Structure 1
Amino acid sequence: KKHDAKIGPQVARRNAGDLRSLAADKGYDAKAFRDELRQNGIRPLIKHRLFNSLDYAHNARMDSDRYHQRSMSETVFSSIKRTLGAAVRARSWWLEFREMILKATVYNLRRTVRYP
């Protein structure tokens, strides 16, 4: 399958009106992606891959509290994969996206029923 870093810009474009910042890992560290986010008024919280000392400086300036929200999302993703399965059965991108939304909805409903 294709690397999912190509999907990041598509999802950001689709939700550009709702986003104020976007946290992602180093796999989404493309200058074009960062520039596109900034043009849409979205603050990129994406760590730089470490190739030179300037990249270390960029990472040190990042707001760690906001970037930490990404790790909370990763925890939820991990929980969804463990409870509902990691694989999606759909073949097209749109149907895969819809299936992931349904899995997230089921996860939220299960949490609501468990913790009233």
Structure 2
Amino acid sequence: MTRSEKHDSPIGKTMLKKNWGIATVSGDKAYFSRKACTIVANKNADPYLKPKENATRQSKGHPAYRDMMRDREKNPEDWEESYHVRSFAESVFSSIKKRFGKALSSIKQRLKKRELLLKAICYNIKEALYNMKASELGTNRWVKR
């Protein structure tokens, strides 16, 4: 959770420095950097950070960056599929914002965290109820129309 005037990428690097036990990290162009690739690789995870348009293949001492760019070049379809896993998280955030609003009404930071957690819990309950109903009806919620 960041303040509206703050960018997410510095927080992302801070979060990556903690030991989360993750296997892959996906991020958009805002998170793309050689240093970010190295931080991800140092946590024994694979980076899938969308390169900026002006990105070069020069690793400049960051082998994880070189490996990521090479993997993307050799297997673009597989790389894009792995990168787009982040779309699931983005769609959850989007759904929560649409249902409950973009802004948090609490003033104190600890209450904002609690409010956001409650919104996430409500979202999960809603999803569980939808899945239960779909199961009762014998339908699949994830069928493309």
**Quick one: which of 29, 41, 46 aligns to 1:38?**
41
Alignment of 1:27-106 (within 5 A): 27-52=30-55, 54=57, 58=69, 59-61=72-74, 63-88=79-104, 89=106, 92=109, 96=112, 99-106=115-122
- 2:21 matched to which residue of 1? 18
Which aligned segments of 4 or more residues in structure 1 are displaced greater than 3 angstroms? 52-55, 59-62, 89-92, 94-102
Q: Rg: which structure is higher?
A: 2
The 1:33/1:53 distance shift into structure 2, 3 A limit, reads: closer
CA RMSD across the alignment: 2.6
C-alpha change, 1:90 and 1:25, in structure 2 (3 Å) is farther
Instruction: Please report the TM-score for the alignment, with normalisation by the length of structure 1.
Output: 0.77
Q: Which runs of 5+ in 1 are unaligned?
A: none
Provide the residue aligned with 2:140 in structure 1.
none
Structure 2 unpaired stretches of 5+: 59-67, 133-145
1-structure distance, mates of 2:37, 2:92: 25
Structure showing the higher helix proportion among its residues: 1
Which string of whole-angstrom CA distances, capped at 9 and with x for unpartnered residues, describes residues 65-97 of structure 1?
2112112221221111100221234554x7655
Aligned in 2, Cα 1:90/1:24: closer, same or farther, shift over 3 Å?
farther
Aligned to 1:115: 131
TM-score by length of 2: 0.64
Aligned length, in residue pairs: 113
Q: Distance in 2 between matches of 1:95 and 1:106?
A: 16
Q: Does 1:4 align with 2:8?
A: yes
